[in-house]
Amino acid sequence: MVACRYFPDREKFTNDMQSSRLVPVCTEIVADLDTPLTLYAKVAAGRDHAFLFESMEGGEKWGRFSFIGFDPLVTFCSREKEVTIEELHNGGDESLTFTSDPLEALKKLIEDLGAAEYEELPRFCGGAVGFLGYDIVRFIEDLPDERTATDLPDSSFMVPRIVLVHDSFKQKITVVCWVRTTGTTDDGERLYGEAIAQIEEVVSRLKQPVGEELFLASGRGTEKEHQFTSNMEKSRFTDMVEKAKEYIRAGDIIQVVLSQRFHTKTDISPLVLYRALRHINPSPYLFFLKLGDIIQIGSSPEILVRKDGERIELRPIAGTRVRGKTVEEDLALEQELLADPKETAEHLMLVDLGRNDVGRVAKGGCVWVEDLLVIERYSHVMHIVSGVHGEIDEGKDQFDVMAACFPAGTVSGAPKIRAMEIIDELEPDKRGAYAGSVGYFGFSGNMDFCITIRTFVMKDDDLWIQAGAGIVADSDPEKEFEETVNKSLGLRRAVELVEKGF
């Protein structure tokens, strides 16, 4: 790895201190010997707040950019209407708790940080990184709030001081250090020097070999099957399906997604579990997100919503077949899936729902569909996918986009609001992280969030998985129950792989 020049230079940095509360200092280094996972292990493993975002496009080829971040300047957490913001300084921490709409509070936090923007930097190099739980929807829509809560915050974010952007195409890393300024140029020399010292420390750690973090074994030995327990009996789930079908017959809804949560105890290393999951189930959104004592480890196939400049994008996924054992069988299953009227009708319904969501924040006449009914292949399954795009309306921002699209129709139902009311009525517990979103709100106004599915949630030695099934008029309750179990199998296999000594 070879260090390059620093950007911005000392003079520009000092000038920008006068107009911005946060100013980045960055450099580029060659990185042709590591994966994003080994990079994370070298610089961020063991930290209380850190993240790794990777991508395998279409489940078949690695995405170009991966992101690593740690050392938070600010942390953000909400439980119902209670918001806590903690600012972390070298001279001590400051914590503030107040009542607010979490999305509004997070938006104000990013605005108040007043970060400088440079076109020379990658599309994401700083901002608020974290998750929105499903129940954040109660601040967007008028929904009841009477069920049992999970022992998790409704949302949690960090604003990292250090961000690494790994470019697999150019085989380089951009190392960014965000500097909190004082509003004057008096401390410019000192702050710039401190930022360079922090970057050099990171670069030095990147030159070291990978430690034992990626090879920690479980104390459970070589169990053949790890036991998970559901938050409901099978009969409770099938009864939920029957009740949902009654609502469908009555014309209340067309579809609703019902889920169950699985829990177990484990001593396995979260980072090793992530390594196993990315091996078993590579996906467009691979993430390891540690925010205090809450860790989310995910391999989500589906974007919730992305905003890049003026463009909005979401990609509904609905319609699934297992992969064939041969190329010929795989192609036959693809044709069978695309010819299935039930699967395509359900998918097109969700495309229309996506068009409506994007249309709430797009310019009039500026919503369109690309790649309608295309097949994306993953390690074990193939899906029908379509792309819904729009051009953002004047006066709208990334938080308006999130409010318009949250939660995804593919994890709630259609019509969305009535489906969510039925979910509240039928499911015994709040969903917590499941069916929410993981991603970032960038200082630049860009955003990228996936749907929180195919995801582990860990706290201490507790491990949860949640999976759902889309219920329609002719759904078989037994098969829908089995679908939720089957959707959790890839994650369960990752646990077993680690316990067998991965």
**Catalytic site positions:** 383, 410, 434, 454, 470
For residue 364, the one-letter residue type is G
Estimate the share of the chain in helix, then strand, then coil, as percent rounded to the nearest 5: 30, 35, 30
Contacts of 429 (CB under 8 A, 6+ apart): 147, 148, 149, 150, 231, 261
The partner residues of 155 in beta bridges, in order of sequence, read 78, 132
Distance CA 353, CA 370 (A): 15
Strand 413-414 to 317-322 pairing: unpaired
| Integer Rg of the chain from CA | 23
How many CA atoms are closer than 13 Å to the CA of 193, on its beta-carbon side? 4
> What is the phi/psi pair of residue 375, to 5°?
-100, 130
Going by C-alpha positions, the residue among 314, 321, 382 that lies closest to residue 351 is 314
Cβ(371)–Cβ(354) under 8 Å? Answer: no
For residue 330, the one-letter residue type is D
Going by C-alpha positions, the residue among 406, 411, 460, 459 that lies closest to residue 434 is 411
Q: Which helix (H) or strand (E) holds 204?
A: helix 188-206
Going by C-alpha positions, the residue among 44, 30, 109 that lies closest to residue 73 is 109
For 145-251, list the strands marked E by DSSP: 155-167, 172-180, 229-230
Cβ(455)–Cβ(464) under 8 Å? Answer: no
Going by C-alpha positions, the residue among 302, 409, 415, 313 that lies closest to residue 361 is 313
Measured CA to CA in angstroms, residue 439 lies from 43, 92, 155, 172, 402 at distances of 20, 28, 12, 22, 11
Q: Enter the tokens of residue 309.
A: 């400049």
Distance CA 365, CA 367 (A): 6
Measured CA to CA in angstroms, residue 336 lies from 56, 83, 325, 481 at distances of 25, 49, 15, 23
Torsion, CA 253, CA 402, CA 354, CA 369, rounded to 10: 180
Instruction: Please name the residue that has the structure tokens 């949640």.
Output: 466
